[in-house]
Structure 1
Amino acid sequence: MSVMRIAGWSLAAMLMTSGFVHAQSDDPKPLKVISSLPSAGAAVTFTVPLRGYDKAHGLAVDIAQSGGSSTLQIDAVLAGSVMFGHPGTATALQAIREGADLKILGAIAKNQMVAVISNEALKKSGVSLTAPIADRIKALKGMTIGTNPVGSTYTQMLTYYLKQYGLDPEKDVRLVGMTDSTALITGIEQGRFDAIVSASGVVEQALSLDAGQILFSGARGDIPGGESSVIVVIVARADTVEKYPDLVKAYRAAMSDSLEAVNDDHAQTGRMLREKYFAKMDEKVWEAVWNNAVQAFPEEVKFGKSAFDFWVGIDPKGPESFKNVDYQKITVPEAQAK
């Protein structure tokens, strides 16, 4: 799908139409953004129009969906087809490293990496599902693990945590990257994988098939460092930030209200999201996803220096590849933190 098919209008035309160049009325201003498909990682974005936080700040948000492609989101923002995107943190930083003139406006999802281990592999490992996180990750030694493609957000994170807890990702486990998330579910169901590791909302599908159990979940806080390993950021073109500060302020305020609802009115927000976007999801799966998502979201719409350092540190090309990327310059001041 091409970027222009997503929105079909330029940045300037969109701003003129929406009223951010010359406000014509007090009606909510149309604002086109792009996100992944509805998922736990995108919950804050989809809650904005669902609970009316966009209109509370003078906006009428229209969310285009990019499937699972963060690259498509980056392309759409750069082309001016949408105002804001919500890509994976790694993809956003890598695009900036390669010269994309983007600003990060904050982060809206923490580490939501989840591992489901097959019932047979769990029995063989002898590990308890309540054991310390180090023991649960070490229990993956010798296993075949289905995960996302090489270089993707969760594969980078998995590799990092394997190393952190003493495993060699190239020798101690066999990682199989899959572009199709359904292949992860069928793979563990059919015994091709001992475990699967990916985003919350994906791997829990295996629970409805009784193919395995959750070994660990970043979304429920099993893995330390969640504030540093934020996985979804808000991005905009640098010229948008410079020319339309009121628009940026309004959108960040709407996202902040949404983040507060997801955290502090978790149950009700979850019911609303399920009814609108996840009605077809198996009830057991939904409960596993949303009930576990108690540590899945940051407290504020911030992208801290620690998060920048985390992703730079685990990038496949190494920290040196970001020597020309300045955290202070790529992150708007109001989104900066330690």
Structure 2
Amino acid sequence: MSGDKFKVTRRQALSLLGAGAATLAMPSLSAAQSGDKVTLLHGAGAPLLGWAPSFIAEALGYYKEEGLTVERIINGSGPAGLTALVSGAGQGLITAPGELLIAAARGQKLQVLFAESNYQAAHLVISKAFAAQYGITSDMSYDQKLAAAKSFKNFRCGISTPGSLTDLTARTVFKNVGLIPGSDAQIVPLGSVPNAMAALSSGNVDGFAGASPAPEQAEEQLGGVVLFSVGKDEIPGLRPMAGPVLEARASDVEENPDLYAALVRADTRALRTIIEDPKQAGDTFHKQSFAKLEKPFWDVVWQRNSSLFTSPYVTKESLEAWVTMGMVPGVTDPKSIDIGAVIEMKFVDQALQKLGWKVPA
């Protein structure tokens, strides 16, 4: 797996995404150029739970059986990942769809091909000391935690970067409990979720917003408490938002439909394994990407987040929710983006038909 590449700021990414025709003029990666090697970009600093189908597809040999050899590049963030994709650095990008929708609003021709997971596995976790200060325990009800959070003062919450999903998670929690950023609470950009976890350990923040398994690690290793969770629908508006998706340039998809059909078939097979044999899938993903985590702890994380994986389809409504929640700068009306042109689910349809699999209701 390659190291962090294409590290850019969100502002630099938005500038590139606004380049429109200039970016689209980049030569696309054709099957003749790449053979059976596929470069998958990843818009985060480390593997996330929501990427499970792709990693399981690789570990169980599903890509190999489709004639594909996968190289992965961890790009560090969604903006950096999409910048790499539109500049021709890879055939696919696995990330949250926010930056893609920004690009689509500016005329870029990009498509979403597969739902790696169906919502964002985001949580807000607080430190052991902060939880004790307000009498919060992990077994308290949502209403009890909500009441306690309304009395927070000087809460320092770590996020990855401004404008990111972690930023949205923190700000949405603040709004829900009546905290005013800059007064009752401080948002502290730390560059990545691992950095936020380190800051929690050192006492430089009182909590952080992040995706699984980092919040659960903070519980297990640091005695932290997961305060609110998207999976439990405890952070208003976030559960309907699409989770990590497989993205590609429309020109690449048009030139190499067989390549993308193979990718989606492999990922769909992996999703089926997750749903029908969760133990095998969880054990495989643990060995593939999270072997440093103790197996009993990993089993808890995997089971706790099982509802992430229900369908390979990305819906129009799940992308529109990104606009509604303010995650597409400059766009307030979902209808201003041709989301119908962004969503391309024909490969999912073909995969399900070939596999003879009906997604459970």
Give yes or no for TM over 0.5: yes
Q: Aligned in 2, Cα 1:134/1:74: closer, same or farther, shift over 3 Å?
A: farther
* Identical-pair percentage: 24
Give yes or no for the alignment of 1:16 onto 2:32. Answer: yes
Range with greater deviation from structure 2 (37-46 or 219-228): 219-228
2:158 to 132, 146, 159: 146
Contact 1:114/1:200 (8 A) holds in 2: yes
Give yes or no for the alignment of 1:308 onto 2:319. Answer: yes
Deviation of 1:227 (Å):
5.6
User: Residue 174 of structure 2 corresponds to which residue in structure 1?
Assistant: 162
User: Secondary structure in 1 aligned to 2:126?
Assistant: strand
Deviation of 1:122 (Å):
1.7
TM-score, normalising length from structure 2? 0.76
**For residues 129-167 of structure 1, what are the alpha-carbon distances to aligned partners after superposition, in whole Å with 9 as ceiling and x for unaligned?**
344435434533322222222101121133234324544
Q: Aligned in 2, Cα 1:53/1:187: closer, same or farther, shift over 3 Å?
A: same
2:255 to 240, 243, 255: 243
**For residues 64-100 of structure 1, what are the alpha-carbon distances to aligned partners after superposition, in whole Å with 9 as ceiling and x for unaligned?**
2224222232233223332111122222222323333
User: Residue 10 of structure 2 corresponds to which residue in structure 1?
Assistant: none
1:30 to 34, 37, 47: 37
Deviation of 1:327 (Å):
1.1
User: Residue 41 of structure 1 corresponds to which residue in structure 2?
Assistant: 50
User: Residue 211 of structure 2 corresponds to which residue in structure 1?
Assistant: 199
Deviation of 1:289 (Å):
2.9
Range with greater deviation from structure 2 (302-311 or 313-322): 313-322
Q: Aligned in 2, Cα 1:255/1:11: closer, same or farther, shift over 3 Å?
A: farther
User: Secondary structure in 1 aligned to 2:68?
Assistant: strand
1: CA distance, partners of 2:214 / 2:75:
13
Structure 1 stretches lacking a partner, 5+ long: 4-9, 20-28
Q: Aligned in 2, Cα 1:281/1:328: closer, same or farther, shift over 3 Å?
A: same
Contact 2:124/2:169 (8 A) holds in 1: no
**RMSD (Å), alpha carbons:** 3.0
Give yes or no for the alignment of 1:71 onto 2:79. Answer: yes
Contact 1:117/1:212 (8 A) holds in 2: yes
Give yes or no for the alignment of 1:278 onto 2:286. Answer: no
Deviation of 1:12 (Å):
5.3
User: Residue 122 of structure 1 corresponds to which residue in structure 2?
Assistant: 131
User: Residue 6 of structure 1 corresponds to which residue in structure 2?
Assistant: none
Q: Aligned in 2, Cα 1:73/1:209: closer, same or farther, shift over 3 Å?
A: same
Contact 1:207/1:284 (8 A) holds in 2: no
Give yes or no for the alignment of 1:217 onto 2:229. Answer: yes
**For residues 239-259 of structure 1, what are the alpha-carbon distances to aligned partners after superposition, in whole Å with 9 as ceiling and x for unaligned?**
122233333322222211112
User: Secondary structure in 2 aligned to 1:85?
Assistant: strand
User: Residue 357 of structure 2 corresponds to which residue in structure 1?
Assistant: none
2: CA distance, partners of 1:2 / 1:278:
21
User: Residue 83 of structure 1 corresponds to which residue in structure 2?
Assistant: 91
1: CA distance, partners of 2:218 / 2:181:
24
Q: Aligned in 2, Cα 1:219/1:263: closer, same or farther, shift over 3 Å?
A: farther
User: Residue 111 of structure 2 corresponds to which residue in structure 1?
Assistant: 103
Contact 1:54/1:60 (8 A) holds in 2: yes
Deviation of 1:188 (Å):
2.0
Residue-pair matches, total = 319
User: Residue 61 of structure 2 corresponds to which residue in structure 1?
Assistant: 52
Letter in 1 for 2:218: A
2: CA distance, partners of 1:185 / 1:112:
16
User: Secondary structure in 2 aligned to 1:93?
Assistant: helix
1: CA distance, partners of 2:29 / 2:184:
54
1: CA distance, partners of 2:233 / 2:69:
31
Range with greater deviation from structure 2 (327-336 or 270-279): 327-336
Letter in 1 for 2:204: R
2: CA distance, partners of 1:183 / 1:78:
28
Q: Aligned in 2, Cα 1:292/1:283: closer, same or farther, shift over 3 Å?
A: same
Q: Aligned in 2, Cα 1:101/1:43: closer, same or farther, shift over 3 Å?
A: same
